[in-house]
Structure formats: C-alpha cells, structure tokens
Amino acid sequence: MRFLVIVRTTAELPFATLHCDALARAGVLLDAADLRPRAFDAQGRPLRPAPVRGYWLIDVRDQEEAVERVRRMPVSACVVEIRQVAVV
C-alpha cells in the first residue's frame, strides 16, 4: 500500500530530503521532495505562505506500518499527515 506523508512546519530548512535516509535504507521510499514555501492558485495569484515543507511517498504493508515508520522520524516540531494513495 502506498502512503503520502505530508510534513508541515514553519522551519525554513529542507526537511523531507534530509530525513528520508531511514526510509530509503528500509526499501520503502518511492519519492521524497521539499516544497518551496510559496503557493499559487490556478490563476497564478500567490496564496498565503503554505506550511507544507515536503513529502515522502512510501510503499508499506499497511497503515500501521506507515504510522510506525513515521513515528520513528525526527518530526516532533512538525505536523505530519499520512494519507493512503489510491492506485488506479
């Protein structure tokens, strides 16, 4: 099962790519990226600064494993959202 782990923080440091080594070593990391702090709507107008700093896309057995793997990450000062990806 694939899960998207969204990391929200006001920290300016690259986050997702710095903390994905353990997921990569475990062989569950499919993708990771840090996002720029500015966001735009469909018309190109700037939105308020987006707190989403990055994401991890992981492939694990189930929701419990996704939660357990994220629980081991150094994300104490962040809000983390774990969402299952619908594979079409």
Structural domain boundaries of the chain?
2-84
pTM more than 0.85: no
Q: Is the pLDDT of residue 18 over 80?
A: no
Average pLDDT over residues 12-23: 76
User: Which of 12, 15, 3 is closest to 76 using CA atoms?
Assistant: 15
Residues 34-85 have pLDDT tens digits of 887 778 888 988 877 667 888 999 999 999 999 999 888 877 778 889 999 9
- Going 2 to 20 to 72 to 76, the CA torsion angle's sign is negative
Q: Is the pLDDT of residue 28 over 80?
A: yes
Quick one: tokens of 42?
């469909």
Question: Could you tell me which residue, 20 or 68, shows the higher pLDDT?
Answer: 68
CATH topology of domain 2-84: Alpha-Beta Plaits (3.30.70)
